[in-house]
Amino acid sequence: MEAPMTPLRRKMIEELQIRHFASCTQKNYLSLVTRFARHYGRSPEQLGLKEVRAYLFYLVNEAKVSYNVLCGHVSALRFLYKVTLNRSWDLDRIPYPHREKHLPVAPTREEILRFLGCIRNLKHRAALMTCYAAGLRVSEVVHLKVSDIDSTQMILHVRQGKGRKDRIVPLSKTLLEFLRVYWKALQPRDWLFPGRSGRPLHIRALQHACLRARRKSGLKQKVTVHSLRHSFATHLLDHGTNLRTIQLLLGHSSLRSTAIYTHVSTKELLSVPSPLDPTDSPS
């Protein structure tokens, strides 16, 4: 059930739009603030810092939400009270949770080819192959248009990726050949991977396709749409591509985000001899 358009909701929408927040972020913030208000059965205007902190405690200890969901609530509530309601709070009292750091999963090239080979749906296989071949986020691949494929210059245009940034990535010859097979079979006109009613393919369709392919392939490790992107970066690093180039290809705003792949790539690490082993040099 959609929340009623109260003056507070209208003001929050205006503030989000003025700051040019992505439409998906706007919807998410509004949904999370609505959940907060329903939890107490009162307008957020009538609630204070004490209730906000108690709600976050509830999310962690009773609802047991994930790290990402908790961060979403924190961001939404910070925006609500700092920007929309203009409360002069110390926002450190609404803290972001400390994140447990895990290295991203990066299947080998052979595992990915085996995984892709288990996808029978031509559209899903083409989309997931694009994620790996170009290192795209799932939101970026579903919003590709046919016109974004430039086979003359062998580049792929990514329009308005994360942070509303455009970028270009090299177009793999193998991917282009498969996309041509896909296009001849389904002949998409506008969106490269269309869904229903002329809209882009839904992200969940690719997530479900990943789950089915992983089960069918027999791979033990978890393979998601995002781990295809991780593999793209890791495999480039293994083949000597410098970190700055990988940063630009991934669309990372900071080299810090890309640097995690130096920990995932094991090629150089495994080449380092142990001091316990004998060496050829004289002592």
Q: Identify the helix (H) or strand (E) that includes residue 159.
A: strand 155-161
Which of 1.10.443.10, 2.170.190.11, 3.30.420.40, 3.20.20.150 would CATH assign to domain 109-267?
1.10.443.10
User: Exactly one of 53, 114, 216, 226 is catalytic; which is it?
Assistant: 226
| Segment 58-67 mean pLDDT | 92
Question: 65: buried, middle or exposed (CB in 10 Å: 19+, 13-18, 0-12)?
Answer: middle
Q: Of how many residues is the chain composed? A: 283
Choosing from 214, 229, 230, 235, the catalytic residue is 229
Q: Which of 53, 162, 167, 216 is catalytic?
A: 162
Q: What is the band of 283 on the pLDDT scale with cuts at 50, 70, 90?
A: very low
Alpha-helical runs (H) found in the chain:
7-18, 23-40, 49-61, 67-79, 109-117, 122-134, 138-142, 173-186, 203-217, 225-238, 243-250, 255-258, 261-264, 267-270
> Is the confidence at residue 31, as pLDDT, over 80?
yes
Q: What is the mean pLDDT of residues 99-111?
A: 73
Active site residue 226: yes
Quote the pLDDT of residue 50. 94
- Rounded to whole angstroms, the Cα distance separating 71 from 98 reads 10
Q: Report the DSSP beta bridge partners of residue 156.
A: 149, 169
20 catalytic, yes or no?
A: no
* pLDDT value of residue 104: 60
Residue with tokens 């909701």: 9
Catalytic residue chosen out of the listed positions 9, 123, 125, 137: 137
Least confident segment among 1-10, 37-46, 116-125, 221-230: 1-10
Query: Could you confirm whether domain 7-93 is CATH 3.30.1330.10?
Result: no
- The three-state secondary structure class of 223 is coil
261 carries an active-site annotation: yes
Cα 133 to Cα 157, 208, 236, distances in angstroms: 13, 20, 11
The bridge status of strand 165-170 relative to strand 149-150 is unpaired
Q: According to the model, what pLDDT value does residue 23 have?
A: 83
Integer Cα distance of 283 and 279 in angstroms = 9
Question: Where along the chain do the CATH 1.10.150.130 domains lie?
Answer: 7-93
The catalytic position among 55, 132, 182, 261 is 261
Clarify whether 162 is annotated catalytic: yes
Rg (Cα) of the chain, in Å, rounded?
23
137 is catalytic: yes
Residue among 35, 78, 145, 252 flagged as catalytic: 252
Reading the block at residue 96, the tokens are 């972001």
pTM: 0.64
Q: How far apart are CA 232 and CA 250, in angstroms?
A: 9
Domain with CATH 1.10.443.10 in the chain: 109-267
Main-chain phi, psi angles of 170, to 5 degrees: -65, 145
Is position 124 annotated as part of the catalytic site? no
Please name which of 228, 224, 219, 194 lies closest in space to residue 209, comparing C-alpha atoms. Answer: 224
Three-state secondary-structure class, residue 4:
coil
Give residue 231's pLDDT: 86
* Placement of tokens 């869904």 in the chain: 195
Condensed to tens digits (0 to 9), the pLDDT of residues 223-257 reads 888 889 888 888 888 888 877 888 888 887 666 66
Gap between the terminal Cα atoms of the chain = 76
